Structure 1
Amino acid sequence: MSRYEVHLADAARRHPGKTAIICGEREISYSELDRAADRFAGALARDAALVDGERCVVFMDNRIEVAVGVFGTLKAGGVFCVINPTTKADKLAFVLANCAASVLVTQASLVRVALEAAHQAPSVRKVVVVSDPAAVLPADAVDYEDFLASAPDRALAPVGIDIDLAMLVYTSGSTGRPKGVMMTHANIEHAATSITTYLQARSDDVVLSVLPLSFDYGLYQLLMCVKMGATLVLEKSFAFPQKVLPLLASREVTGFPLVPTMAALIVQLRNFNPEWARSVRFLTNTAAALPPSHILQLQHVFPQARIYSMYGMTESKRCTWLPPEQLAIRPDSVGIAIPGTQAWVADDRGNAVPPGVVGELMVRGGHVMQGYWDNEEATARVLRLGRYPWEKVLHTGDLFRMDDEGFLYFVGRKDEILKSRGEKVSPKEVENVLYAMPGIREAALVGVPDGMLGQSLKAIVVTDQPDMDARAVIGHCRAHLEEFMVPREVEFRDALPKTGTGKIRRSVLQAEAEGRVVASEVE
């Protein structure tokens, strides 16, 4: 057997008393986590009658029970799926019905939404609720502790092999209907091994993650920590940085995964305590490329840390990484293919293009998904025949260029490129310039329909300088961009719309600029 859950059993055997997860005031050791996962697996088999390959959906905040649910489901031979706790009942119902989930695990504060969704999904046989001992649960739900108590006294016998499906990660579809990305145990192992290799991850690492476990970037912090036998400090959000950042020092954190919105908040802090950064030896970033100005500021704030600029997508977890020593040479690059994989830029026919030419990024390797659950049409659009008859290559839908030395640069989504004055404009390139202007915390570029220009460029920004005006912003852009890329209009806002993972929803802003409505998204 070569399945991902063996890493938990190995860590429990090698480091039984070591802390696996810290979540608020709660801690759990590796031996305790392994035992809890065994009990959860046993309860799935006995009380929920879950059989090999059935799905268990976990609908909770970041907490220890999510890890128990993930590894317990794997131990039972099932497929886990973690859903963002802000998901509304109709979207949750779609997910449950789409993947024919057998079990739904949630928490007391979400039980109303969970049951409303479960009642619309006939496949759901059991709703398990993590609740206060004094809470009175609805008749159609079972208490988490009572559920674990139904488990047999011994661990289940190992089941399955590494090509079996292990997890579904639902990502937003262009129509608003989420798509379930299918990953096998082998997919997860390949991705986790590649990433921990270039991060030089160690068993004595302590990783602080505020990312939702429903977000694959957050989920892999858990999976990789267990693989290495490291410690995960799990927080629910980064809404209050002044409460989270001191944990870097008090927990002696060595690894800190970021997304661009977090980086923007950190570099704007005027009272960042240098002691907070003392133990941090690596920072990672994905979801969107960091503006080069923020990279420089992070290097100042975290002088001892190696900063890994990366690019990825749920369909292959991670695609590229930039060796930290390259930041000074090419700060706007997202690097090279992660170890054990290949990535290249291709034209519309799939043929590689020369350096400097913009095309679509292609990815191949053991980390590429198996497809979208029950969605052959969407799968066929992004997975196409590769070099070998048995291989599928991922067509990312993202536009890139490659330099003469093989380093990749993100240009934009195919459907996000703007056209103004007959010229193609990458919103990312303009946004990087906007972020370099002191006082701008968040920025997005949209195209406003214009009979003369095609699209007139409009910058939408969030600033912490109330006296900043549009002329100053336009002047800053004009000093750093070609004229056709300079915004003609600037709008100031208190905040920009974001996904549940903290990524700015440019599609919403673009729809507003065009006077249309976009479908809601599930993250």
Structure 2
Amino acid sequence: MTIPSQRLLQDALLARATDPAFADKPVVVIEGQPYRYAELLDSTQRLAGALVTRGVARGDRVAIYMDNSWPCVVSIFAVLLAGGVFLLINPQTKSEKLGFILDDSGARLLLTDGHLAQEFVPLFGHGLSPAQLVSSGKLPDGHDIAAFDVVIHAAAPLAVPPATIPLDLAALIYTSGSTGTPKGVMQTHQSMVFARDSLIEYLRLAAHDNILCALPLAFDYGLYQLLMTVQLGATLVLERSFTYPAQVFARMAEFGVTVFPGVPTIFAMLLSAHRREPLHFPGVTRVTNTAAALADDAATRLREIFPHALIYKMYGLTECKRVSYLAPELAQSKPGSVGKAIPGTEVYLLSVDGQPTAPGETGTLYVRGPHVMRGYWNRPELSARMLKPGPLPGEMVLCTQDQFRMDAEGFLYFVGRSDDIIKTRGEKVSPVEVENAMHTIDGIREVAVVGIDDELLGQAIRAYVVLESGVALSGGQIRAQCIKRLENFMVPQQIVLCADLPRTATGKVSKKALLEQTA
């Protein structure tokens, strides 16, 4: 029997949904409702046909601004099948940032949810028109917007997909940058297929697995749970969030979850709930952590909850999806390590002068492999900072700008980040973006935002604020204004009012001094 090649991300869905062994199997369970592989393929082909009818051509960007939902899952694969490039936008994103991403990406269409109208309607007449939208749920009054369900049912399935090849872009994954504006990481079909398959290999996953995802699909850690599921022919139990743990626990038990991906915030909530009332999930065989370091003692306590699970510590960044993992069997012998390079890739450390470091010495981590991004969309200068010439002529490798040590056996130990990006709740937050938003609050003269270590969040966001003379604002009042301007995960947990901010010899605010004061 000839096994069809899977060079493109959507090929996995085409293969599974047309295989009698998988067609009627649930591909996702959303709010307790299972959806079959055959249903996903049918809806995907219909939406892809509608997208092409609306002018989406090979290489066009299509924005998906949705919650973790059935329309979101369908949209991802439909954009790919239509030959487009999908970009997932976190549904917490506010109007101004949404507008920036749509403009920066040159998105032809926006697939969205009606309950997000308060954020996308203000963009009408400012680079976005109702004709560019397809929306699920309740539509806002007074605008001629196509309804997602109507479009799907009325459209003819796409007959002939565009001639996409593996080197074409599959996704732009927007991530916060040190400049305060998001930047789109360019990932090809080839890079994402490779990363997906490498993750499946080292996690030792199989078609019988039921994978939980309570992470946003707009977060690449969440997205890859879906991509791995479809490639495996497994089932994804997709939750909107981990806001209501008891509901998630009930779904885990009902649908026999075997794989639990999380971030330190989720694990801290789990352990807190476990202290109040013991939790026990003997059916879970894999637990994975990324976004921020999982403390060794936390991993030990998680074994009380997941007694039969292999617990994986991992390190990665959006620019290459995943860098390294620590095999669970080595947790005791390699405490503090994030392991070795994922299968099919290579890592090495270089000193400031570009020389290989000796075992135990700190250096900058470089990553070599097919999973490395093509660069940042519309950001040649930033791309040049992260992509450097590799060992082969014409090859480019990823310079992570992060500091590591490597022991004599090749195991990596994270030392620190070279930039000041804050990782909180599994999200990357630019201090500049938070500062810019806070500067729009009347009465604030200066603000400096830093990340401080936090057991629950990974890092907590702390804002040092200097008020204008004669202004009386409390931390609570400032935080209330931040909530109106920023996504929830970007709102500072701590606001410190101070008379002045420490400065360097050149007059710049010294965040290093602020962090030293914190310590």
Query: Which amino acid in the other structure matches residue 88 of structure 2?
Result: V
Asked if 1:190 is matched to 2:194, the reply is yes
- Of 105, 118, 127, 1:99 maps to 105
Give the Cα–Cα distance (whole angstroms) in 1 for the partners of residues 501 and 202 of structure 2: 41
User: Which residue is 2:288 aligned to?
Assistant: 284
- Of 10, 14, 17, 1:12 maps to 17
**Structure 1 residues 441 and 364, CA gap change in structure 2 (3 angstroms):** closer
Q: Are 1:207 and 1:253, in contact at CA under 8 Å, matched by a contact in 2?
A: yes
Does 167-176 or 294-303 show the bigger shift?
Answer: 294-303
Query: Which amino acid in the other structure matches residue 100 of structure 1?
Result: G
User: Which residue is 1:296 aligned to?
Assistant: 300
Per-residue CA deviation, residues 185-221 of structure 1 (Å, 9 max, x unaligned), is: 0010110010000001101110111100100000101
**Structure 1 residues 187 and 138, CA gap change in structure 2 (3 angstroms):** farther
Give the Cα–Cα distance (whole angstroms) in 2 for the partners of residues 68 and 445 of structure 1: 35
Asked if 1:90 is matched to 2:96, the reply is yes
Query: Which amino acid in the other structure matches residue 264 of structure 1?
Result: A
Q: Structure 1 residue 136: deviation in Å? A: 5.8
Query: Which amino acid in the other structure matches residue 97 of structure 1?
Result: D
Matched ranges for 1:323-342 at <5 A: 323-342=327-346
**Structure 1 residues 89 and 415, CA gap change in structure 2 (3 angstroms):** same
Matched ranges for 1:55-454 at <5 A: 55-117=61-123, 119-121=125-127, 126-132=132-138, 137-153=141-157, 155-269=159-273, 270-275=275-280, 277-415=281-419
Give the Cα–Cα distance (whole angstroms) in 1 for the partners of residues 58 and 488 of structure 2: 31
Per-residue CA deviation, residues 4-37 of structure 1 (Å, 9 max, x unaligned), is: 1010011112211000111103221000001100
**Structure 1 residues 333 and 502, CA gap change in structure 2 (3 angstroms):** farther
Give the Cα–Cα distance (whole angstroms) in 2 for the partners of residues 156 and 336 of structure 1: 42
**Structure 1 residues 69 and 322, CA gap change in structure 2 (3 angstroms):** same
**Structure 1 residues 504 and 206, CA gap change in structure 2 (3 angstroms):** farther
Unaligned runs of 5+ in 2: 422-449, 465-482, 504-508, 512-519
Give the Cα–Cα distance (whole angstroms) in 2 for the partners of residues 139 and 503 of structure 1: 31
Query: Which amino acid in the other structure matches residue 294 of structure 2?
Result: L
Query: Which amino acid in the other structure matches residue 5 of structure 1?
Result: Q
Q: Are 1:261 and 1:503, in contact at CA under 8 Å, matched by a contact in 2?
A: no
Q: Are 1:268 and 1:441, in contact at CA under 8 Å, matched by a contact in 2?
A: no
Give the Cα–Cα distance (whole angstroms) in 2 for the partners of residues 363 and 330 of structure 1: 21
Query: Which amino acid in the other structure matches residue 257 of structure 2?
Result: V
Q: Structure 1 residue 184: deviation in Å? A: 0.4
**Structure 1 residues 170 and 79, CA gap change in structure 2 (3 angstroms):** same
Q: Are 1:104 and 1:124, in contact at CA under 8 Å, matched by a contact in 2?
A: no
Aligned residues: 450
Query: Which amino acid in the other structure matches residue 24 of structure 1?
Result: E
Q: Are 1:165 and 1:182, in contact at CA under 8 Å, matched by a contact in 2?
A: yes
Length-normalised TM-score, structure 1: 0.80
Q: Structure 1 residue 152: deviation in Å? A: 2.0
Does 101-110 or 240-249 show the bigger shift?
Answer: 240-249
**Structure 1 residues 283 and 501, CA gap change in structure 2 (3 angstroms):** farther
Give the Cα–Cα distance (whole angstroms) in 2 for the partners of residues 376 and 397 of structure 1: 17
User: Which residue is 1:3 aligned to?
Assistant: 8
Q: Structure 1 residue 513: deviation in Å? A: 7.9
User: Which residue is 1:35 aligned to?
Assistant: 42
Give the Cα–Cα distance (whole angstroms) in 1 for the partners of residues 494 and 386 of structure 2: 20
Q: Are 2:462 and 2:492, in contact at CA under 8 Å, matched by a contact in 1?
A: no
User: Which residue is 2:432 aligned to?
Assistant: none
Q: Are 1:20 and 1:229, in contact at CA under 8 Å, matched by a contact in 2?
A: yes
Q: Structure 1 residue 351: deviation in Å? A: 2.5
Q: Are 1:249 and 1:278, in contact at CA under 8 Å, matched by a contact in 2?
A: no
Query: Which amino acid in the other structure matches residue 41 of structure 1?
Result: A
User: What is the identity percentage for the equivalent residue pairs of Structure 1 and Structure 2?
Assistant: 39
User: Which residue is 2:427 aligned to?
Assistant: none
Indicate the SS of the match to 2:18.
Answer: helix
Matched ranges for 1:481-520 at <5 A: none
Unaligned runs of 5+ in 1: 418-426, 449-496, 519-523
Asked if 1:24 is matched to 2:39, the reply is no
Indicate the SS of the match to 2:337.
Answer: coil
Q: Are 1:43 and 1:149, in contact at CA under 8 Å, matched by a contact in 2?
A: no
**Structure 1 residues 287 and 500, CA gap change in structure 2 (3 angstroms):** farther
**Structure 1 residues 446 and 157, CA gap change in structure 2 (3 angstroms):** closer
**Structure 1 residues 376 and 506, CA gap change in structure 2 (3 angstroms):** farther
Give the Cα–Cα distance (whole angstroms) in 1 for the partners of residues 120 and 457 of structure 2: 36
Give the Cα–Cα distance (whole angstroms) in 2 for the partners of residues 510 and 99 of structure 1: 38
Task: Give me the CA root mean square deviation.
Answer: 3.1
